[in-house]
């Protein structure tokens, strides 16, 4: 069964350092999402891509966070500099489309990257 | 208006019992309501979903009940099993916002053997 791949699974870093997370969506999925999940809370959307274009990054703290999906396939989320409050699980999800029949909008999640900022 | 409120925060039931998790929303543009199941160390996985044109959807032991007028929906897990122990999230989306999911805060379910 196809899965969304994320790496690393765990990342420990010190405050003010730079970190990067990688996501490889299910093959053929045009839409890619990055979510942040704080312990004990539901995931919150950071950025949505359709192919290589950003659909919505209104919740992305752009002073320190950046995301790219250069070839419309895999994606990288970067934080620079990391702050203590960034400690969370970073989840990537993908779907065939964002729009049209609901069956094509089902989001499949990766296992996430657990970030700890010391 | 984008919030989805979920309760309870945690739930403990005996094996064979019924687990009920409730969610409420404000945004009437929401037209798709999925439930996700998340095990420790894993990402959320779609469990069951409903559209507001039906009041109930059942898949095996899992049932969603939907009350459009009250803007509430709930997940019922019949004959709960220890393997159902996980965190459950309700969510909602609308085509107006490119099918982005707005999640509830989650319910940690523990089913005792």
Cite the beta strand spans of chain B per DSSP E: 4-7, 10-14, 19-25, 33-38, 45-50, 56-59, 62-67, 72-77, 86-92, 102-103, 107-112
Per-residue pLDDT reduced to its tens digit, A5-42:
999 999 999 999 999 999 999 999 999 999 999 988 99
Contact B21, B6 (CB under 8 A): yes
Per residue in B26-56, pLDDT (tens digit) is: 999 999 999 999 999 889 999 999 998 899 9
Contact status of B86 with chain A (Cβ, < 8 Å): no
Interchain contact B83–A (C-beta under 8 A): no
Which residue of chain A comes nearest to B43, CA vs CA? A111
**B103 contacts chain A (CB < 8 A):** yes
Q: Does pLDDT of A43 surpass 90?
A: yes
Q: How confident is the model at residue A1 (pLDDT cuts 50, 70, 90)?
A: confident
* Other CB atoms within 10 Å distance of the CB of residue A20: 14
Better-predicted residue by pLDDT, A2 or B43: B43
Q: Given this model, what pLDDT does residue A97 score? A: 77
Q: Are A81 and A16 in contact (CB under 8 A)?
A: yes
Nearest neighbour of B101 by CB, restricted to A40, A99, A107: A107
pLDDT given at position A40: 86
Q: Can you give the pLDDT at residue B99? A: 83
Residue of B36, B98, B105 lying closest to A99 (CB–CB):
B98
- Taking the CA of residue A28 and the nearest CA in chain B, the distance in Å comes to 18
Q: Do A43 and B104 touch (CB under 8 A)?
A: no
Comparing A92-101, B2-11, B15-24, B82-91, the range with the smallest average pLDDT is: A92-101
Distances from the Cα of B37 to the Cα of A109, A111, B86, angstroms: 11, 12, 7
Q: Average pLDDT for residues B56-73, to the nearest whole number?
A: 95
pLDDT at B1: 58
Instruction: Identify all chain A residues contacting B42, using CB atoms and an 8 Å cutoff.
Output: 111-112
Q: Given this model, what pLDDT does residue B95 score?
A: 80
Question: For A55-107, what is each residue's pLDDT tens digit?
Answer: 999 999 999 999 999 888 999 999 999 999 999 999 999 998 766 777 768 89
Under a CB-based contact definition with an 8 Å cutoff, are residues B55 and B72 in contact?
A: no
pLDDT of residue B41: 86
Q: What residues form DSSP beta bridges with B93?
A: B32
Q: Which residues share a beta bridge with B50?
A: B33
Q: Which of A41, A105, A108 sits opposite B99 (nearest CB)?
A: A105
A25 at interface of B, judged by CB pairs closer than 8 A: no
For residue B93, list chain A residues with Cβ-Cβ distance below 8 A.
105
Q: How confident is the model at residue B2 (pLDDT cuts 50, 70, 90)?
A: low
pLDDT per residue as tens digits for the range B73-109? 999 999 999 999 999 999 999 887 778 899 999 999 9
Q: What is the interface size between A and B, counted as CB pairs within 8 Å? A: 62
């Amino acid at each position: 069964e196809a899965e969304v791949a994320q790496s690393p699974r765990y990342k420990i870093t010190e405050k003010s350092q730079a970190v990067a997370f990688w996501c490889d969506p299910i093959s053929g999925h045009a839409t890619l999402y990055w979510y942040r999940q704080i312990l004990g809370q539901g995931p919150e959307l950071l950025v949505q891509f359709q192919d290589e274009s950003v659909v919505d990054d209104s919740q992305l703290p752009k002073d320190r966070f950046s995301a790219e999906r250069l070839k419309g396939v895999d994606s990288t989320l970067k934080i620079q500099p990391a702050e203590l409050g960034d400690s969370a699980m970073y989840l990537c999800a993908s779907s065939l489309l964002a729009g049209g029949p609901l069956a094509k909008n089902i989001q499949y999640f990766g296992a996430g990257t657990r970030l700890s900022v010391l | 208006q984008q919030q989805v409120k979920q309760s309870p925060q945690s739930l403990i039931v005996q094996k064979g019992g019924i687990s009920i998790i409730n969610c409420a929303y404000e945004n009437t543009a929401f037209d798709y309501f999925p439930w996700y199941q998340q095990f420790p160390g894993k990402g959320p996985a779609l469990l069951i979903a409903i559209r507001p044109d039906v009041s109930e959807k059942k898949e095996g032991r899992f049932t969603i009940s939907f009350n459009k007028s009250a803007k509430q929906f709930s997940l019922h897990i019949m004959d709960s099993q220890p393997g159902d122990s996980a965190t459950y999230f309700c969510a909602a989306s609308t085509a107006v916002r490119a099918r982005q999911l707005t999640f509830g805060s989650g319910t940690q379910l523990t089913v005792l053997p």
